[in-house]
Structure 1
Amino acid sequence: MAELIFMAGLGAGVGSILRFFMLDQLTRVSQLSTSWMVVIINLLAAFGMGYLSGLSLVLPWHTMVTTGIMGGFSTFSTPINELAQVLGNDDQSKRKLVLLKTGIMFTIGMPILILGRHFGLN
């Protein structure tokens, strides 16, 4: 059990660094807001999670790359936090935008995860 916890923690650190690097690089080349970049990163993470779950990795490595790296790379807490903030807000346009981004992540994320798994299995 200690080995799995270590592998997950190590992977989470790697995933967080990858997310930070990717956000930094996207900011330099894109006009997208950070919150839209988070949507893109989470969709990439969904594909990656699907792909990796389709591979036949042994348990410690599976834990490191799925729970660890992909968990650290994705950041579903950011859109959920945005959603919680706008639900009590009177700004309808901001609320609609946050609902749109959250909807995109969860409705498009699932087919992307399934597509990634298909590639991982084949």
Structure 2
Amino acid sequence: MILKILIVGMGAAIGSMLRFYMLDRLTKVSNLSNSWMVVIINLLAAFGMGYLSGLSLSYPWHTLVTSGIMGGFSTFSTPMNELAQSLNQDNRKQIDLVLLKTGIMFILGLPILILGMYLA
């Protein structure tokens, strides 16, 4: 069990650093806000998760890349933090925008995940 935790933790560190790097780079070359970049990254993570799951990797590689790297690359906490801040400020327009982005991630995420599995 300790080995699995270490594998996931190492993968999560790699994934979160990759997410940070991509956010930094994409923000510099795009007019999209950081929160829209998170939507794009989460959709990329859905594709990556589908593709990597479709490869039928064995342990420990499957654990490293799916739970670890893809888990660290994707983020659910960012939209939830945005939602909490918007609720605290009673900012209806911002609440609606966060709910829209979260809906997009879930509605598009499933077919993108399936596409990744199919292409693997």
Instruction: Please state which band the TM-score falls in when normalised by the shorter chain.
Output: over 0.9
SS at match of 1:56: coil
C-alpha separation between the residues in 2 aligned to 1:55 and 1:68?
Answer: 16
Asked if 2 retains the 8 angstrom alpha-carbon contact of 1:12 and 1:71, the reply is yes
1:62 alignment partner in structure 2: 62
Task: Report 1:60-99 matches (<5 A).
Answer: 60-99=60-99
User: How far is 1:111 from its partner?
Assistant: 0.9
Task: Identify unmatched segments of 5+ residues in structure 2.
Answer: none
User: How far is 1:88 from its partner?
Assistant: 4.6
Task: Identify unmatched segments of 5+ residues in structure 1.
Answer: none
C-alpha separation between the residues in 1 aligned to 2:95 and 2:66?
Answer: 32
User: How far is 1:77 from its partner?
Assistant: 1.1
Provide the aligned C-alpha RMSD in A.
1.2
Identity of matched residues, %: 70
Is the aligned partner of 1:118 residue 2:118?
yes
TM-score, scaled relative to structure 1: 0.92
Give the counterpart letter for 1:101 in structure 2: K
User: How far is 1:74 from its partner?
Assistant: 0.5
